[in-house]
Amino acid sequence: MLLSPLFFVLVLFGIAGNEVAGYRGQQSNKPVLNPEFHQWLNNFYNQLIPDHLANLQATVTSNVSQTPKVGPTLPSIWNGTGDSIQQMGNASNQQVVAFGVNVTMMSDATKKQSASIGQEPFQWGPEAFHQAGNSTITQITLTSNMTFLILNGAKYIASPGTFNNLFGWTLGATNAGIVTWNGMKLTRWILQIPTGNTSYELLVTSDNTPVRQELNTTVPESVPVYGGKRYSQKHVFNTFHANSALVPDPFENFDINDYLEPMRCEPEVEPIKNVTMFIFHPTNNFEIAGQDLGDAQGDVFFTCVDVMLKQPGQIDHDYQWITQWSIELNPTFGQYQNCNGYPSNCLGDEHFAVGHAAAQNLGRPVLGQCQLNPETGEWFSLPVGGECPASVTPDFKQCSWRKTRVKTIDSKCLFDTHNFRSMCEVDGQAPFKAATDIFSQAFSSDNVSDGGCPPINPSQN
């Protein structure tokens, strides 16, 4: 299904702590992004872009080693707050793919550690959550020899990306004179690199305090979807404290085992449950191992946010069919895996137990993993390693879940015939009761005049 809208730009240059995560805020002047697209972009950056940026960093290092130090004097240890925006597209038309607002950041080049801490409200959360201050997603990213993510208490190994100094390139920078930015007279430092037609720019005050940094580069042609497009990354520092560590230390009490062996819930008295789940998917593809599903309310929460954003189809967004499944499972829930794509690509190290979370990751504690989440609905992940053969009961020894397909419908029936989008807009926020009623009726009845949708027989398509 999707990862939190806070998480995806974690490992560009291997500096997750310095790289501000993409969020969605409530202010009308902020871009509003498709949340599922965040997860795909995370996979894209983690697996493909770092190869390009690693080569780019090697070029920078080579240039620096051959260039006398002329750049600004910048601290090895610092912390601060800042905003970030990242864009992708052609030279004349770049689209925002991530942004963060007033995120706390720290970097310690002597320890090769960096971190970022961000919290933003999720505007479609239930009203009760807003009133209680719980309609937020808190993200902490930690980078040392790897990049780690803490998302509303759940701990993930985000990527193998390692620490890199955000300002390392400035060792070979050239002084490009004084410029005026936002009414301030600032010194402009630049570095031009032929690889990818890449440029760096840093604006600093007279005492070398960073104010704004920008990178522009071209994505290699070999990268799917975005090959040949221009990518830009901009940081604006709201505060900057040189030679000052962040207190409390975000690496305090760090234990790698918390990430390698994610928490599981206590076994329930009832060892096996049958849970109704739904998933949007491509036509004639019924593979749900390694996929994320939701109950009716949870899937509607996901879908309503998606359709209200009116984003163009991206990756998972043009799936034409919706299938209802009956999942027989062992309710010793594990960490929710964030999965996308066919074949799937998942974030999380729970490869056997069924994963569970509140929809949109809004649950507390630990994403709502070990509790019911009636205000948001439920999300589930079905790990490949936990699937049972048809003849085997999920005993939590051999396997943890098995499936029975109940009904498949064409999403056009839901969206076009029954005007699902308008009900999402009427509801405006979770629990999306009107939209959930329409969604449920589409599966309860086969009669269109009764609000139902006719079943699809895959063998006839």
The verdict on 235 and 282 lying in the same domain is no
What phi-psi label fits residue 361: left (phi over 0), alpha (psi between -120 and 50 degrees) or beta?
Answer: left
pLDDT band of 33, cuts 50, 70, 90: very low
* Residue 178 maps to a domain: no
Q: What percent of the chain has pLDDT over 90?
A: 57
Task: Write the pLDDT tens digit of every residue in 309-367.
Answer: 765 444 344 578 999 999 999 999 999 999 878 888 888 999 999 999 999 999 988 99
pLDDT of residue 310: 65
The verdict on 407 and 364 lying in the same domain is yes
* Residue 192 maps to a domain: no
- Domain endpoint, select from 242, 274, 296: 242
pLDDT of residue 21: 28
Mean pLDDT of 189-201: 86
The verdict on 226 and 290 lying in the same domain is no
Asked which of 20-24, 251-255, 285-289, 371-375 is least confident by mean pLDDT, the reply is 20-24
Mean pLDDT of 63-68: 58
* Residue 427 maps to a domain: yes
Residue with the larger pLDDT of the pair 228 and 445 = 445
The verdict on 291 and 408 lying in the same domain is yes
pLDDT of residue 316: 43
pLDDT band of 52, cuts 50, 70, 90: low
Query: Over 50: is that where the pLDDT of 16 sits?
Result: no
The mean pLDDT value of the chain amounts to 83
8 Å CB contact between 204 and 211: yes
pLDDT of residue 308: 80
The verdict on 225 and 338 lying in the same domain is no
Residue with the larger pLDDT of the pair 250 and 86 = 250
CA distances in angstroms from 306 to 44, 53, 170, 356, 448, listed in the order given? 20, 31, 40, 21, 24
pLDDT band of 58, cuts 50, 70, 90: low
pLDDT of residue 36: 40
Query: Over 80: is that where the pLDDT of 23 sits?
Result: no
The verdict on 226 and 334 lying in the same domain is no
pLDDT of residue 51: 55
Bridge partners, 30 (sequence order): none
Strand order in the sheet with 198-204: 154-159, 147-151, 136-143, 113-121, 93-108, 77-90, 230-242, 210-218, 198-204, 184-193, 174-181
pLDDT of residue 47: 44
* Residue 205 maps to a domain: no
The whole-angstrom separation of Cα 80 and Cα 50 is 25
Task: Write the pLDDT tens digit of every residue in 113-148.
Answer: 999 998 877 889 999 888 888 888 888 999 998 899
- Opening angle at CA 229, ends 224 and 235, nearest 5: 115
pLDDT band of 369, cuts 50, 70, 90: very high
* Residue 180 maps to a domain: no
State phi, psi for 172 to the nearest 5 degrees. -110, 20
The verdict on 333 and 420 lying in the same domain is yes
The verdict on 52 and 120 lying in the same domain is yes
Bridge partners, 136 (sequence order): 121
Residue with the larger pLDDT of the pair 136 and 427 = 427
The whole-angstrom separation of Cα 213 and Cα 176 is 14
The verdict on 95 and 166 lying in the same domain is yes
**Cis? peptide before 431, omega within 30° of 0:** yes
- Nearest residue to 100 (alpha-carbon basis) of 114, 83, 117: 83
pLDDT of residue 313: 42
Asked which of 16-25, 66-75, 198-207, 411-420 is least confident by mean pLDDT, the reply is 16-25
Mean pLDDT of 28-41: 37
8 Å CB contact between 70 and 63: no
Q: What percent of the chain has pLDDT over 70?
A: 81
What phi-psi label fits residue 29: left (phi over 0), alpha (psi between -120 and 50 degrees) or beta?
Answer: alpha
8 Å CB contact between 105 and 18: yes
The verdict on 281 and 385 lying in the same domain is yes
Query: Over 80: is that where the pLDDT of 175 sits?
Result: yes
In terms of residue numbers, what domain contains 350? 262-460
pLDDT band of 8, cuts 50, 70, 90: very low
Per-range mean pLDDT, top range of 13-27, 77-91, 151-165, 169-183: 169-183
The length of the chain in residues reads 461
The verdict on 287 and 145 lying in the same domain is no
Q: What tokens were used for 446?
A: 């086969």
* Count: domains in the chain: 2
Q: What tokens were used for 437?
A: 């009623």
The whole-angstrom separation of Cα 67 and Cα 255 is 40
Q: What tokens were used for 203?
A: 């604006």
Query: Over 70: is that where the pLDDT of 459 sits?
Result: no
pLDDT band of 289, cuts 50, 70, 90: very high
Residue with the larger pLDDT of the pair 89 and 387 = 387
The verdict on 315 and 404 lying in the same domain is yes
- pTM for the predicted model, two decimal places: 0.80
Query: Over 50: is that where the pLDDT of 165 sits?
Result: yes
Residue with the larger pLDDT of the pair 272 and 197 = 272
